[in-house]
A and B are shown apart, each in its own frame.
Chain A
Amino acid sequence: MKNINILKPNKDNFRTYLFIGITLVFLGVFDVFLRSFFMVNFLSFLPNLLNFLLPFILGLVGLQMIRLEYSGVKLVDTVNKNINNNIFNAGLTLFIIFITILALPPSLNWMIFDANISGDTKEACVAVEGACWTYIKVWLRRFMYGMYPNEFHWRINTAFIILISFAFVGFFAKGKFKNYLTFYYAIIYPIIAFLIIYFLISGGSFGLEWVETNAWGGLSLTFIVSFFGLIFCFPLGMIFALGRRSELPVIRYISIGYIEFWRGVPLITVLFMSSVMFPMFLPADTFVDKLVRVVAAIVLFEAAYVAEVIRGGLQALPRGQYDAAKSLGMGYWKMQTFVILPQALKLVIPGIANTFLALVKDTPLIFVVGLSEVVGMLQMAKTNPKWLGYAMEGYIFAAVLFWAICYAMSRYSQYLELKYKTDR
């Protein structure tokens, strides 16, 4: 017999090795499972360190024993290739499996089995060890609508439903109307949106009571701010992207200065500027609403980022496209609208989507000027003397909420990217 290595299987004795190896791995995982779920440690007679490390060692030896290329068993081959291709990866695999098993019971207990969602007061949660979802339930309206009066919440809902239905017009447009869609989305839709939000949510006419913007808040405010941010920063960014690529030096340098300035400062200082410095720059008696100032600041700020993304797309287009358009006798604007921008924008869909995601994630910063959307409302609820001590539940709720919104957005952008992908 040459070179016997008891840890290395070969084709002849693979069945035996497979059996022993799987048993060892199973023993290791089972031991951790018992420790984690049932607090039983049947190896407690061993010395401390060995007792602690034993499942890991068992698993490692077991995985080592079943590692054989082209063993003939399909499942084993898949396992070996994906999680067990060398000893380092086997160790990491075991580590991740054990951590998951160990972390599962406490987190599940906290979130589901020991949690409470019944009742309407804090008293319902006093005896509860896990999460107190009652807190979220009681405050849900505040998290969604801020301090907006309860009896008027239908106004916000209606406004959003109308806005969404107007946004879907594009899907039903046929024939001749399709040509005007860009015009509709770029100019008419923002105006409609502004009017709806102004008359329905803000109120003050048509018998609707006036609700000042300070009372707006929660998720609806997040949507309003990001919505206006999105529709206004896009055209502005496009202008500055074109400006930066312009042949006219004055326009180019102004665009460069604008873009580099806004990209160099943090949003929080821009918001500071809009709240404390901007009023100084206006004629003495003019008053611009806080929300309008905030949205303007966000638009100016994000437009610089959008401009840089679009510039990337413009630069990626081959020179021939410009030459071809010019040789057809197109002027500057005709060339940009019909030849260059449609192609460039298609290229930068992922970049634009990332900028928009950043915008949505930046909306919580409006707390610096005293407006509170979801995160701001959380801070308010957290310090409410009746509901002290439930910060964790609130943050997890908001994190899941934002994660869902952003994840949906990024998925949608991937879909768009595929839809508009044209092979060259």
Chain B
Amino acid sequence: MTNKQKKILPQIFTLLLIILIFGFFTINAQMNMSNRGIDFGYGFLSQESSFDVQFSLIEYDGSHSYARAYLVGLLNTILVSVLGIIFCTILGVVVGIARLSPNYLIRTTASWYVEFFRNVPLLLQIFFWYYAALRALPLPENTEPLFGVTYLTVKGYYMPGFIWENFNILMYSILAAIISIVVIRSHAKKIQEERGKQLPVFFISIGLLIVLPALTIITGIVQVEVELPILKQLSKTSFIYEGGVSVPPELIALVLALSLYTATFVAECVRAGIQGISKGQKEAAASVGLTPNQILKLVIMPQALRIIIPPTTNQYLNLTKNSSLAAAIAYPDLVLVFAGTALMQTGRAIEIVSITMLTYLTLSLSISVLMNWYNKKIAIKEK
């Protein structure tokens, strides 16, 4: 056997095996479907769905199509993932830094938190928050206001809502602020390279982001009305808050559990990243006369981020995938709405499961592409 044959033969065998397996499955699927009298196709997506979804970000009821039901589920999944990612990042960074604190009590508390929450199954945590912790909240009629205008009740969290007029102008002002920040940043960099002088870019940016939108509101171009949640009696014993924004308890439980669970992993990534920077870096920076703040901002963080970002991306991906556990507490996410209710009604297992899996695959791959791009941007540029 020549060397070339040695390389080609196993490949051909593997390919044949794969084709055989797929062929076997396809033929069986065709036979099964023709036996049961169902045809393969995605036409059902435009049919009327005739089921309701409890919580949706866009307008939806039974008269809309399955495609729109899919969109409702997808948006709900994205909402949970984004909220979870934000909270788990904040908590994870705080806990990760706390684990390196010189303070013994803080260090120990943080490591207890990590050891406990990462070793308990996520599903159990979701059930705990939803069925045990949030069920202990008071009924709407007995609730004391939290922060004056919001209400945390067993039926959900009620916040005042904002009704905007000329909302697009506000958006334009924010866009203008962002553009001017980018310009100022590049200008500041130029000044620093030419004269070695640093401008307080961070404070200017924050100021711009607050002042420009605030100006549009003060001058009266954009008007905002606050709508407070108001207690309303439905029947003799049943009360509910109306108006404003209401967050269903399923969403609260899910975001709580997801962010508490994922934060433990993010915290470990952050800790590893900071520990991965050798002590010499800090000492060298201090010896050239940088202040502690500058050391953290200009020397430690840029290097630590390189170590932190790849594993943290993985955790974000995990969080997005784990958000599918929403189905267990009936939060209408993609899995519950589409792979649950829609599948039950149409019976199109292959089409629906494949769409659902492809959606998650796309979500995961796009997050990982985005993070890879960022990772490449901050990577060491070797010459």
Give A residues with C-beta under 8 Å from B.
Answer: 81-83, 85, 89, 92-93, 96-97, 247-251, 254, 260-261, 263-270, 272-273, 276-277, 279-284, 357, 361-365, 367-368, 375, 378-379, 382, 391-392, 395, 398-399, 402-403, 406-407, 410
Residue-wise interface mask of B (339-383) relative to A, using a CB-CB cutoff of 8 A (1 in contact, 0 not): 100010000011001101100110011000000000000000000
Write the chain B residue with the least CB distance to A89: B103
Contact of B29 with A280 in the complex, beta carbons under 8 Å: yes
Measured CB to CB, the closest approach of chain A to B55, in angstroms, equals: 19
| Other A-B pairs, 14, CB within 8 Å; known A249-B11, A266-B335, A403-B116 | A265-B321, A272-B353, A279-B32, A280-B32, A280-B33, A284-B32, A361-B122, A375-B124, A375-B127, A391-B131, A395-B128, A399-B124, A399-B128, A402-B120
Q: Which of B64-72, B187-195, B322-330 contacts A (4 or more CB under 8 A)?
A: B322-330
Residue-wise interface mask of B (121-157) relative to A, using a CB-CB cutoff of 8 A (1 in contact, 0 not): 1111101100110010000000000000000000000
Given A89-B101, A96-B109, A395-B132, A265 contacting B361 (CB threshold 8 A): yes
* A-side contacts of B350, CB under 8 Å: 277, 280
* B-side contacts of A280, CB under 8 Å: 28-29, 32-33, 349-350
Write the chain A residue with the least CB distance to B133: A392
Residue-wise interface mask of B (102-119) relative to A, using a CB-CB cutoff of 8 A (1 in contact, 0 not): 111110010000011011
Q: Is B230 an interface residue (CB 8 A)?
A: no
* A-side contacts of B124, CB under 8 Å: 364, 375, 395, 398-399, 402
* B-side contacts of A407, CB under 8 Å: 115, 119
Measured CB to CB, the closest approach of chain A to B113, in angstroms, equals: 12
Within the assembled complex, what's the spacing in Å between the Cα atoms of A367 and B121? Answer: 13
Within the assembled complex, what's the spacing in Å between the Cα atoms of A261 and B362? Answer: 10
Contact of A254 with B14 in the complex, beta carbons under 8 Å: yes
* A-side contacts of B14, CB under 8 Å: 250-251, 254
Contact of B353 among A92, A273, A363, A365 (CB under 8 A): A273
* B-side contacts of A406, CB under 8 Å: 118-120
Q: Is B42 an interface residue (CB 8 A)?
A: no
Contact of A382 with B15 in the complex, beta carbons under 8 Å: no
Contact of B357 among A273, A402, A410 (CB under 8 A): A273
Write the chain A residue with the least CB distance to B364: A264
Contact of A268 with B324 in the complex, beta carbons under 8 Å: yes
* A-side contacts of B328, CB under 8 Å: 367-368
The 10 closest A-B pairs by CB, nearest first: A406-B119, A266-B321, A250-B11, A264-B361, A264-B364, A266-B324, A82-B104, A281-B25, A361-B121, A392-B132
* B-side contacts of A402, CB under 8 Å: 119-121, 124
Contact of B335 with A391 in the complex, beta carbons under 8 Å: no
Q: Is B7 an interface residue (CB 8 A)?
A: yes
Contact of B132 with A254 in the complex, beta carbons under 8 Å: no
Instruction: Supply 23 A–B pairs (Cβ within 8 Å), ascending by A.
Output: A83-B103, A85-B103, A93-B105, A93-B106, A248-B7, A249-B11, A266-B321, A266-B360, A269-B357, A270-B357, A272-B339, A277-B349, A283-B31, A357-B119, A365-B325, A367-B328, A375-B124, A375-B127, A391-B127, A395-B128, A403-B120, A407-B119, A410-B119
Q: Is B37 an interface residue (CB 8 A)?
A: no
* A-side contacts of B343, CB under 8 Å: 276
The winner among A85, A280, A364, A407 for most chain B CB atoms within 10 A is A280
Q: Is B186 an interface residue (CB 8 A)?
A: no
* A-side contacts of B339, CB under 8 Å: 269, 272
Contact of A375 with B123 in the complex, beta carbons under 8 Å: yes
* B-side contacts of A273, CB under 8 Å: 353, 357
Give B residues with C-beta under 8 Å from A.
Answer: 7, 10-11, 14-15, 18, 25, 28-29, 31-33, 35, 101-106, 109, 115-116, 118-125, 127-128, 131-132, 135, 321-322, 324-325, 327-328, 335, 339, 343, 349-350, 353-354, 356-357, 360-361, 364-365
Q: Determine the main DSSP class of B at the interface with A.
A: helix
Measured CB to CB, the closest approach of chain B to A108, in angstroms, equals: 17
* B-side contacts of A272, CB under 8 Å: 335, 339, 353, 356
Measured CB to CB, the closest approach of chain A to B233, in angstroms, equals: 27
Write the chain A residue with the least CB distance to B35: A284
The winner among A249, A269, A361 for most chain B CB atoms within 10 A is A269
* B-side contacts of A277, CB under 8 Å: 349-350, 353-354
Measured CB to CB, the closest approach of chain B to A250, in angstroms, equals: 4
Contact of B102 with A85 in the complex, beta carbons under 8 Å: yes
Contact of B121 with A92 in the complex, beta carbons under 8 Å: no
* B-side contacts of A357, CB under 8 Å: 119
* A-side contacts of B361, CB under 8 Å: 261, 264-265
Measured CB to CB, the closest approach of chain B to A348, in angstroms, equals: 15
Contact of B103 with A92 in the complex, beta carbons under 8 Å: yes
Contact of A268 with B353 in the complex, beta carbons under 8 Å: no
* A-side contacts of B324, CB under 8 Å: 266, 268-269
Contact of A283 among B28, B135, B349, B357 (CB under 8 A): B28
The winner among A96, A249, A391 for most chain B CB atoms within 10 A is A391
Measured CB to CB, the closest approach of chain A to B269, in angstroms, equals: 13
Write the chain B residue with the least CB distance to A308: B314
The winner among A254, A283, A364 for most chain B CB atoms within 10 A is A364
Contact of A251 with B10 in the complex, beta carbons under 8 Å: yes
Contact of B102 with A89 in the complex, beta carbons under 8 Å: yes
Within the assembled complex, what's the spacing in Å between the Cα atoms of A304 and B263? Answer: 24
* A-side contacts of B29, CB under 8 Å: 280-281
Given A250-B15, A281-B28, A395 contacting B121 (CB threshold 8 A): no
Write the chain B residue with the least CB distance to A367: B328
Within the assembled complex, what's the spacing in Å between the Cα atoms of A392 and B134? Answer: 11
Measured CB to CB, the closest approach of chain B to A86, in angstroms, equals: 9
The winner among B121, B128, B360 for most chain A CB atoms within 10 A is B121
* B-side contacts of A362, CB under 8 Å: 121
Write the chain A residue with the least CB distance to B24: A281
Within the assembled complex, what's the spacing in Å between the Cα atoms of A35 and B125? Answer: 32
Contact of B360 with A264 in the complex, beta carbons under 8 Å: yes
Within the assembled complex, what's the spacing in Å between the Cα atoms of A410 and B119? Answer: 9
Write the chain A residue with the least CB distance to B135: A391
Measured CB to CB, the closest approach of chain B to A38, in angstroms, equals: 24
Within the assembled complex, what's the spacing in Å between the Cα atoms of A283 and B119? Answer: 41
Contact of B360 with A93 in the complex, beta carbons under 8 Å: no
Contact of B327 with A395 in the complex, beta carbons under 8 Å: no
* B-side contacts of A248, CB under 8 Å: 7, 10-11
Measured CB to CB, the closest approach of chain B to A47, in angstroms, equals: 21
Contact of A96 with B105 in the complex, beta carbons under 8 Å: yes
* B-side contacts of A96, CB under 8 Å: 105-106, 109
Measured CB to CB, the closest approach of chain B to A278, in angstroms, equals: 9
Measured CB to CB, the closest approach of chain A to B46, in angstroms, equals: 22
* B-side contacts of A265, CB under 8 Å: 321, 357, 360-361, 364
* B-side contacts of A363, CB under 8 Å: 121
* A-side contacts of B11, CB under 8 Å: 248-251
Within the assembled complex, what's the spacing in Å between the Cα atoms of A273 and B101? Answer: 46
